[in-house]
Chain A
């Protein structure tokens, strides 16, 4: 699906640029977009370096395992295939709390750390596990208690009640998150049903290649 969307945007963009006579804009947009991608990644360096350092301290102190044991049951039902007390759960919880508080700068590094921990549980390193998809679903919907950026913008333009959108935002984000969790559950189940049973004895060398080629081609559309 991602291949289709990516190619689609470029090809449709080309057709429209041709019809609208905007070939110059097309070329400019390519380099603008590329530059933007690098700028955004570079912007991530500072927060990633800092938070990954801080998270390592937390991990070495056994804090993440403690959080995972303590609060794991709260999110455990969302991640049934992550072992109880695994550090991934600690990172997932940190990521969710940071999102909840609107701390985007901290949420992304913690989410990425959670992905890296989930990747250690992944038998096929190039294909997402159900737990990864659930984490992504939670992050794309991103439940937020305080939309801080928007409150600031509204204040800036002289709103009489800058925080007046907090209630409606909370309602909308709750509905979106429920929809994401529901859809994620549904797809997870459908995938399990569609996946052919694993052949009994496969050499580990063949497994990676065969595993990614056979079952997933049917799911890309």
Chain B
């Protein structure tokens, strides 16, 4: 099953990139011209995201560098330690929704220090792999189309992060604990 899924993952992009123009060609689409015409939009979209991403990443970067994030982590850790959750993984719960590279670096460090097959390594891998960086996704997707008022999207994203974080820990404690 796992082998099949990784096989599909490896084949998906090459198959799409070959099949889409081939199919379009049979439909009499001028494939190359059509590609170039569509590709023109890509640059502008990427540029439109810059202000949003710069604003958000500066705030996150300042929040981390000032020591505020560390303080918050130290504040939350003891509260959950009593539940049999290794305290080392708790900072991930805060890092994950804020910064993808930050939380990946933290996960990699936990794996390096405690070993990939330790309970900490397993929980950290599961947390990191099970959700995407909410603030990044919001910033990029809304930024690309110029949405200013995201309504309840942030609340929904953060709520599902919390639930995903708890689920990752519970499942790992049940399976590997």
Using a CB–CB distance below 8 Å, which chain A residues touch chain B?
1-2, 5-6, 9-10, 12-17, 20, 22, 25-26, 28-30, 32-34, 36-38, 40-42, 44-45, 48-63, 97-98, 101-103, 106, 108-109, 111-112, 115-116, 118-119, 125-128, 130, 132-133, 135-137, 139-142, 144-150, 153-154, 157-169, 171-173, 175-177, 179-180, 183-184, 187-188, 191, 212, 216, 219-220
Contact = CB atoms under 8 A, between A and B. Distances in A.
A154 B111 CA distance: 7
Contacts of A212: 149
Interface stretch (B3-11, B73-81, B82-90): B3-11
A2 B157 CA distance: 12
Contacts of B35: 53-54, 56-57
A162 B65 CA distance: 33
A111 B141 contact: yes
Chain B interface residue bracket vs A:
35 or more
A26 B42 contact: no
B120 interface: no
A53 B29 CA distance: 13
Given A52-B45, A103-B9, A159-B116, 9 more contacts: A34-B58, A37-B54, A44-B46, A60-B27, A130-B151, A137-B153, A144-B129, A166-B2, A168-B171
Given A37-B53, A58-B20, A166-B2, A101 B62 contact: no
Interface in B1-28: 2, 5-6, 8-9, 12-13, 16-17, 20-21, 23-24, 27
Contacts of A55: 38
Given A141-B131, A187-B156, A57 B38 contact: yes
